[in-house]
Amino acid sequence: MSQPSEPILQIEDITKIYPGEGKSTTVLDHISFDVYKEFLCIVGPSGCGKSTLLRIIDGLDKPTGGQVVFHGQPITSPSPKIGVIFQTFALIPWKTVLGNVLMAISSTSIQKEEQLKIAQKYIQDVGLEGFESSYPKELSGGMKQRVGIARALALQPEVLLMDEPFSSLDALTAENLRREVLDIWRDPAYPTGSVIMVTHNVQEAVEMADRVIVLSARPAKIVDDVKIDLERPRSPRDPALYDLADRIISKIS
């Protein structure tokens, strides 16, 4: 995928320090990279601060130093042009599938009837047609995450952030959902250009991403930035993927 010269997101010198009693903990140590129209994965060992970084990018958390720039504007609070998908789904238990998806766009200036149409469209797109009035408790894990995806897509975001979106799912469900997310992202009908996915599953990262940013253990620094130019759709059993995964794993450990 060709990269236009103008980056969509610029992560500029992000540092995150948690001050503690006596000693403070540095979680993110001067992280900088640009995000273009691409599928970007951030991998790193457990607890290295990947998720904190993702939260800082969305404006959910505040960096101790540095800034995130989105189309030339520093991010200070969650933007309606950025959608988020959570590891634990984060669905409101007392809202129906439709209600949970509507929630994402309810703060926008879109007309109510239009909101409803958009929500219904994305519920269909993720394959949940007929489940609009179900409650999250009645759904399987995979279906819950589909709601999470529909909710993020309903914003029609330019950037989609995913925090370990498949790690709460069983292997088979995760595999299917990965493929569907890639299909949606590659479909020109969707406005989402950039995806940033945080994961500790290296295999998953090399299978899905155009580019993988590898973080070290805490305090996290960028130890590698790997371009993956393999044809899509990719086969999970492609030996080239294993080579890449090995390279990344050797950097982490």
Partner 1 sequence: MHVPRPSLRKRVTTASAGKTASLFTKIFLSAIAVVTIGALIIDLLTGGLTPNCQNNPLDPLCIPGYAIRTLTRMTIAYAFALGFALTYGIATAMSHRASHVLLPLLDIFQSVPVLGVVPVVFLIILGTGANPPVFNQEVASIILIFTAMAWAPTFGVIAGINAIPTDIKEAAHAYGMHGAKYLRQIVLPAVFPELVWSSILAWGGGWYLIPVEEHLAFGSPPNQTQVDLPGIGRYIALAALKADLGLALFGLVVLVGIILAIDRLIWKPLGTRAEKYKYETVAAPRTTATRQSSVVAGVRRYEDRLVSPVLTFFKSERSYAGRVLEITRLKRIRHITERLRFPERISRIPLWGRLLSYAIFVGLVILGLIVTIMSRSQSIESGISLLATDVTGFGLVAITVLSLSRLVIAYAIALSWTLGAGILIARSQRLSRLLVPIFDIGQSIPATALFPLVVILLVNPFKNSPYLGFTLNLASVLLILTGMQWYLLFNIVGAVNGVPNDILEATTAYRIRGRRFVKEILIPASFPAILIGSIQAWGGGWNALIVSEYIGPNANVPGLGSFLVQASSKDPALATVEIYASLLVMTATVLIINRMVWRRLLRKADRYKFEA
For partner 1, which is the closer residue by CB, 103 or 116?
Answer: 103
Give the Cα separation of 157 and 122 in Å (integer): 13
Q: By CB neighbour count within 10 A (0-12 exposed, 13-18 middle, 19+ buried), where does 11 fall?
A: buried
87 binds partner 1 (CB under 8 A): yes
Q: Please state, in angstroms and as integers, the Cα–Cα distance from residue 12 to each residue in 23, 24, 75, 158, following that order.
A: 25, 22, 11, 19
Contact region with partner 1 (CB under 8 A), list: 7-15, 34-42, 76-84, 223-231: 76-84
Residue choice 32, 76, 133, 140 for contact with partner 1 (CB under 8 A): 76
For partner 1, which is the closer residue by CB, 6 or 61?
Answer: 61
For partner 1, which is the closer residue by CB, 7 or 219?
Answer: 219
Helices and strands, number each (H, E), in the chain: 7, 10
For partner 1, which is the closer residue by CB, 85 or 128?
Answer: 85
Which pair of tokens denotes residue 141? 């894990």
Q: Rounded to the nearest whole angstrom, what is the least distance from the CB of residue 60 to partner 1 in the complex? A: 5
Cis status, amide bond into 78, omega within 30 of 0: no
55 binds partner 1 (CB under 8 A): yes
Give the Cα separation of 96 and 119 in Å (integer): 12
- Contact present, 150 and 128 (Cβ < 8 Å): yes
Q: Which residues bind partner 1 (CB under 8 A)?
A: 18-21, 24-25, 27, 46-47, 50-52, 55, 58-62, 76-78, 80, 82, 84, 86-95, 103-104, 106-107, 135-137, 151, 155, 163-164, 167-171, 174, 200-204, 245, 249
